[in-house]
Amino acid sequence: MTLDAPFHLVDLDREVPYRTGSADRVRVGVAERPTASAEGFDVLLTGASDAPRPWVGCKDPHAVAHRLAGIVAEQPAACVALVQVLRMGARLPAADRLVLESLAYSTLQSGAGFRAWLASARPRVPRPAAEPVRLRRDGDRLAITLDRPRVRNAFDARTRDALCEALHVAVADPSIAHVDLYGNGPAFGSGGDLAEFGTSRDPARAHLLRVHRSPAALLQACGSRVTAHLHGACVGAGIELAAFAGRVLAAPDTVIQLPEIGMGLIPGAGGTVSVPVRIGRERTAYLALSGVALTAGEALGWGLVDEIEEIDEISEGAAPDAPFPSTAAPTRR
């Protein structure tokens, strides 16, 4: 059976919005100027350049809506799953939101959209690092550095497990008052390591492992003490995890993106939990659905980062002198 693209566009300048029959559709509202009668939409687009949250300002909102409709037509399962997770997550405790995200992510791993992306992706050779995460303790301050610069700190299973071990230290030791999270090399984090995508043949087991060893859950526990220092590419997990930090600083060259929808997936490193806290459900949906890249200045305007800092300040802190090896066998994405 062929289904129509689950996309519903409402021109709020001409139509009266209604909510019936929208649970399985991506609902987009468009208006020349932001309006108060715009509840229940997944994305809100306006031609106003100074659009307040939850609206997204763009030069031609109808053209942007048309592009979103095309994306939903190409990846309907992932797009609907995304907005459903964001809607339901707003009513759940924070820990349960991570479980909901993981369940949806694992479901999509078995979907046609992800299988088609895997079939079209070029083969990649894994390049694991022996010590992908490093620690340095200085008094009551702990520096945690992602250290796979050759692959722009792509987030593989070994990196995830080592980051969990490092964050366990921060959670367990109350004498650590400040945690600084860095990425060594040209980028803070380029997202999930594509060499590992699709290597798990059991999405149900992958869900259990993802929930059991979760950097996002640990960052929820200690996030108020964490400052994330972003630079270069902050893609997928690179922004999803950083957004849990109580304070997020970004170098001027920072570029932020959530590209998972194009792979037939949704953010799976906690992004449907962390990012909405900072920018709201609607702007998170737009960021993930569109795959658009945000500059540091745009991210600052949205509240996704708190301050723009010079790259030298980041580089000085990103040269740890002590490795932190993972003691656990890596789990698969």
With beta carbons less than 8 A apart as the criterion, state whether 38 and 29 touch.
yes
Classify domain 94-323 at the CATH class level. Answer: alpha beta
Which pTM does this prediction carry?
A: 0.90
Q: How many helices (H) and strands (E) does the chain have?
A: 12, 14
pLDDT at position 115 is 94
Which residue ranges in the chain fall short of pLDDT 50?
A: 1-2, 20, 316, 319-333
* Burial per residue of 105-121, b for 16 or more beta-carbon CB atoms within 10 angstroms, e otherwise: bbbbbebebbeebeeee
Q: Measured between alpha carbons, how far is 257 from 55 in angstroms, rounded to an integer? A: 18
pLDDT at position 209 is 86
Domain ranges (residues) in the chain:
7-74, 94-323
Token digits of residue 200: 């798990």
In 3D, which of 97, 107, 108 has the Cα closest to residue 273?
Answer: 97
pLDDT at position 126 is 81
In 3D, which of 217, 213, 214, 140 has the Cα closest to residue 179?
Answer: 140
User: Nearest 5°: CA angle at 244, between 171 and 85?
Assistant: 120
pLDDT at position 1 is 36
pLDDT at position 3 is 52
232-287 pLDDT, tens digit each: 999 999 999 999 999 999 999 999 999 999 999 999 999 999 999 999 999 999 99
pLDDT at position 58 is 94
The CA-atom distances, in angstroms, between 127 and each of 132, 161, 186, 193, 324 are: 11, 16, 17, 9, 18
**What backbone torsions phi and psi does residue 309 show, to the nearest 5 degrees?**
-120, 160
104-120 pLDDT, tens digit each: 999 999 999 999 999 99
pLDDT at position 321 is 46
pLDDT at position 319 is 47
Is the preceding omega at residue 93 within 30 degrees of 0, hence cis?
no
pLDDT at position 37 is 72
Under 8 Å CB-to-CB from 82, ≥6 apart: which residues? 104, 261, 266, 267, 272, 285, 288, 289
